[in-house]
Every structure is written in structure tokens, then in C-alpha cells.
Amino acid sequence: MRYYSTRNQGNYTSSAEAIKQGLAPDGGLYVPSSRAVPFKTDNLPAGSYNEIAAAVFKLFLTDFDSADLEKAIAAAYNEANFAHPSITPLRKLSADLFMMELWHGPTCAFKDIALQILPHLLNTAVRITGEQSEIVILTATSGDTGKSALEGFSNVPNTKIIVYFPAGGVSEVQQLQMTTQEGRNVGVAAVHGNFDDTQNGVKEIFNDRRLTGQLAEAGYRLSSANSINWGRLLPQIVYYFAAYHDLVSSGDLRPGDMINFVVPTGNFGNILAGYYARELGLPVNRLICAANSNNVLSDFINTGIYQSRRPLHRTCSPSMDILVSSNLERLLFELTDHQAGVITGWMEQLMKNGEYKLDKGTLTKLQDLFWADYADDRETLQTIADNYREFDYLIDTHTAVARAVLRKYRAREEDGCLSVILSTANPFKFSGSVIRALYDSEMYRGVSELDLLNILSLKTNNPVPPGLAALAGKPVKHKQVIERHNMRDHLLSTLELI
Ligand SMILES: *Cc1c(COP(=O)(O)O)cnc(C)c1O
């Protein structure tokens, strides 16, 4: 399987190169250049999580050795890294409603599933391609990717990891998780502005030939741990198959039955993995895209107009506070049957005018498969409370957005399919909002999120996850707050080049 850029089909490259580079040199995203042969419905990948992972990885990383892939999978998905033996267990709330808990990894959010394996894939890619430079992972984060990437890459040999997050744009726990990070090879800085500013700052660094040239001379090569990297996206395809397999094994689903997945969406990585799973033969009825009040994506799916020029709201689901969803570019490339010229045109309009409009044919294809709506903070918090009362089960704010949107879907569409909600964060990671949702919000005003962890634990009789409990005793190591136009200098000084 070869890869090429969404903005230029001329340049074929191997999967190892695509993972090593992260972003294509023309600013596009790497995608598989041909369709993988789909699995047959009566022969979907089965077995343990790791066996399913191996079946999926082998389809896409054809220049990797099977033994290397199996080693990487075993090093990532094990009981030292994940607090549950099934890795992504399902929780049954009712006969037609399941939660897939994607947050049993070290940082309590779903990003761990990809970022626990990405360093192993990247190391293998470096070896396969004979790369001599040291890899510098640059990451923009809306909150969860940063910590997951730091966990995955800290102290990995021949690698540096630098994370930028929007100052004031992440939760207190998320910020502490990053600023207390240990490791010889890590850098963390807050950037004035919002996530889109931070993400654009990183993309500009990638596209700055003079700077990348200077880095190359010094023996460094940039790569990305954001979901613009194919190596981030691929591991996320696996759990869609794992969920289906588990449902069939438990007798909750007949083999071949269609199901819906409901995905709380920001950068469109998680839900895009669901699209690829469907392309590979998984019986998916609808992919339901749930947005918060930054509802660019739900507007887009409902109207075909992507309109990013609007104020960014800081919501209680900060990992979805995004106006420009990078991975949508990959979906559009697929839906237009790989027309790089069309995609480049839309992306240029987005850059210039903050907006583009799909043609009718592409919009129809999009709407056949995706359904979208959004939930604001009030609905989100109400949903956390309702869900707790109804099922005695705590969900975080992001998962609650998905739960609220599924309710809207069911009110409007006739559909008897079983639905799986992708639960993307442990509720303790957003304990401030969860407590506000469940109890008298005035009572806890001004209490720090670290104290709220314990209060939530006592009140709901759930343990604080160990990674979050440990934050209280850790010194803050990374205190820098920089301007967006200083990100280049920050990078150079972190690498001791200025
Ligand atoms: C990153 C994140 C999301 C959004 O996922 P995308 O792949 O960016 O769409 C949702 N919830 C949580 C908790 C996240 O960390």
C-alpha cells in the first residue's frame, strides 16, 4: 500500500515515510493511494484486541515487517499501559445503547490508544527508511493530545517531543498533566490564542522551508503526533472492529447487523477512523458526529458549507473547541474519489475566505453516511446528570455531548440500530464540570480541580485514577507562555540552536 498527499497525487511514498513525515511537504495529508481489500462481513477481524489490531495494521503498513508490527502492538497494548485487559471495553447501558470506554490508558483520554503505539511505529519507520536525523515531534494540543504524546514519547531515544497548548484554553487538570511532565527530551509551552492559532503555528513551522532546512543541517527532522499523522489515525480504526466483535461475542448483536457509532468530534480524527472501518467492511449504518457549541462541523454536514469565521467558544468540552478540523480534508478526498485539485481549491478558499461550499454530489455522499448535531454546555451538563441518575454511570463532558446528540438523532430519525457512543475521556479528567453538573454548582466555586477529584470520588464512590491522583505532588516544570509568532524561536531555543 502506497500513500500520497490529499493535495497532489503525483508523489507516491511508503507508509514508513508517511508516518515519519507526519504532514506531506505540500501541506496536504497523507492517505492510502488505493482502497484496501475489505474484510468479508462473515469474516471480520476477531479475537483479542491485539489480534484485531494486527489484522488492521497489516493492511495499511505493508512495508513494515509483521514481526515488527506485532512487537509494537504488544509493547503498546498491555496491562502496564492500560487499566483494562480489553483495552477498549464496552459498557452496556441498555439493549441498544453501549459506551465504548476509550480512556483506560495512562492519561485518561482516548488519544492514548494511538499515542501509546505511535512512538513504536515511528521508530520502526526511522529504521526502515534509514533516517539519520533525530526526530522532533511537534504537537499542538487542545488539551488531551499533548499529555498523551508526552507520555508516549518521553525518554524515547533519538526523539524530542515539544508540545504547544493554548494558554487558558485547557482544563486545570490537563494543564497540570502537561506542565509537570518529566523526561530529558520534552518541551512544553503555552501559546497566547486559541487552539486554531496554536495548530496553525505548528503547520507554519512544518511548511517553513528555511527553518526545516536549518533543522536538517543541525541533524533534526520534524514530525507530528497530531491526527494529521497517518500513524495516529490508523490505530483508531482498530477499536471500531473490536467493539463490533465484542457485541457479537456477547450475543448483543447478530453477525452482519448494522450499528451506529456516535463520536464527540473536534479535529475529525476519531470519526474518520470510523469511516475507514466502514470502508473495510464493518457494517456501520450511521456515523453520528457530535459537536459542542463550536458547531462548524454539524453546520457543515447539514448544509455543505464550511464556515470557520466565527467566534471560538470556550466550552466545558475543551478538547473539541476547534473551528478548523484538519482531518476533514482526508474525508473529502475520499468522497471526491481522490481529486486533489478540488481539495486544494477548497482548502485555499478556507484559508483565504474562511469558507468553502461542497458541490451537491459530494454533499449527498457525506449525508448518506454522516449525521450531525451539537449540544451546548447547558445540555451537556444536564446530560451528565441525567445519565448518572438513569444508569448510575458517570460520563465526562465530551462523552456527554455525544450522548445528548444521540438523543436528538433518535427523536428525529426512525432507526432501530444499536448505537455505540465513543466515550473519549475518564469523567475524573473533567471533574470540575462533572461536579457542577451533578451538584450545587455554587458550593464548589473556587475549589481547585485537584480537590474536586477527591470530592467527586467520595460523592460517587468511584476511585480517582492513579495518574490524576499523582498530580497533586508533582512540581510544575514548564512555565513558559509565548506569543504565536515566537513559536519558531521557542523551538530553536529548545533544540539549543539559538
Ligand atoms: C481529542 C478529543 C476529542 C476529539 O477527537 P477528534 O479526533 O479530534 O475529533 C473528543 N474528546 C476528547 C476527550 C478528546 O481528547
Cα 319 to averaged position of ligand 1 atoms, centre (Å):
5
Fold classified for 90-104+235-451: Rossmann fold (3.40.50)
Instruction: Verify whether ligand 1 is closer than 6 Å to residue 227 (CB atom).
Output: yes
Q: Could you give the CA distance from residue 150 to residue 216 in angstroms, rounded to a whole number?
A: 23
pLDDT reported for residue 196? 86
Check pocket membership of 147 for ligand 1, CB cut-off 6 A. Answer: no
Q: Is the CB of 231 under 6 A from ligand 1?
A: no
Tens digits of per-residue pLDDT, 3-18?
999 998 888 999 999 9
pLDDT in the model for residue 280 = 97
All residues at 6 or more sequence positions from 53 whose CB lies less than 8 Å from its CB, including other chains: 73, 77, 235, 238
Position 141 scores a pLDDT of: 92
Q: What is the pLDDT of residues 96-152, one digit of tens each?
A: 999 999 999 999 999 999 999 999 999 999 999 999 999 999 999 988 999 999 999
Question: Cα angle vertex 289, ends 287, 292, to 5°?
Answer: 165
29 within 8 A of 326, measured Cβ to Cβ: yes
Helix axes 195-207, 487-494, angle to 10 degrees: 60
Q: Hey, which residues does 275 pair with through a beta bridge? A: none
Dihedral sign of CA atoms 458, 463, 467, 470 in order: positive
Residues marked as catalytic: 111
Backbone angles phi, psi at 199, to 5 degrees: -65, -40
Ligand 1 in reach of 266 Cβ (< 6 A): yes
- Quick one: pLDDT at residue 143? 83
Contact 39, 223 (CB under 8 A): no
- The enclosing H or E element of 366 equals helix 360-369
Nearest CA to ligand 1 atom 2: 319
- Give the per-residue pLDDT at 441: 75
List pLDDT tens digits, range 245-264.
999 999 999 999 999 999 99
Distance of CA 498 from the midpoint of ligand 1 (Å)? 35
Domain residue ranges of the chain, discontinuous segments joined by +:
90-104+235-451
How far, in Å, from the CA of 363 to the mean position of ligand 1? 24
Q: Is the CB of 265 under 6 A from ligand 1?
A: yes
Determine the pLDDT at residue 89: 98
For residue 267, report the distance from its CA to the centre of ligand 1, in Å.
7
Ligand 1 atom nearest 265 alpha carbon: 9
Q: Where are the alpha helices (DSSP H) in 287-327?
A: 296-303
399: Cβ below 6 Å to ligand 1?
no
User: Rounded to the nearest whole angstrom, what is the distance from the C-alpha of residue 369 to the centroid of ligand 1?
Assistant: 20
Q: What is the pLDDT of residue 204?
A: 92
Per the listing, cell 495494521 goes with 57
Q: Is 232 in the pocket of ligand 1 (CB under 6 A)?
A: no
Our answer on whether the CB atom of 264 is closer than 6 Å to any ligand 1 atom is yes
From the CB of 319, is ligand 1 less than 6 Å away? yes
What's the pLDDT score for residue 195?
A: 87
Which ligand 1 atom lies nearest to the CA of residue 269?
Answer: 7
Residue nearest to atom 8 of ligand 1 (CA): 267
In angstroms, what CA-CA distances link 29 with 9, 230, 331, 359? 11, 8, 11, 21
Cα 318 to ligand 1 centroid, rounded to whole Å: 9
List the chain residues with pLDDT less than 70: none
Atom of ligand 1 nearest to the CA of 227: 7
pLDDT, tens digit (0-9, with 9 covering 90-100), for 11-56: 899 999 999 999 898 889 999 999 999 999 999 999 999 999 999 9
**Ligand 1 within 6 A of 267 CB?**
yes
Measured in degrees and rounded to the nearest 5, phi and psi for residue 223 equal -145, 175
322 Cα nearest atom in ligand 1: 8
111 CA distance to ligand 1 middle (Å): 7
**Nearest CA among 109, 56, 92, 113 for reference residue 421:** 92
By C-alpha distance, which of 20, 46, 21, 18 is closest to 32? 18
Is the distance from the beta carbon of residue 423 to the nearest atom of ligand 1 less than 6 Å? Answer: no
Yes or no: say if 153 and 185 are a contact pair by the CB < 8 Å rule.
Answer: yes
- Residue 64 CB contacts under 8 Å (≥ 6 apart), including other chains: 15, 16, 57, 121, 124, 125, 128
Kindly report the pTM of this predicted structure: 0.95
Report CA(471)–ligand 1 centroid distance (Å). 22
Residue among 163, 272, 398, 421 to mutate when testing ligand 1 (max atoms within 8 A of CB): 398
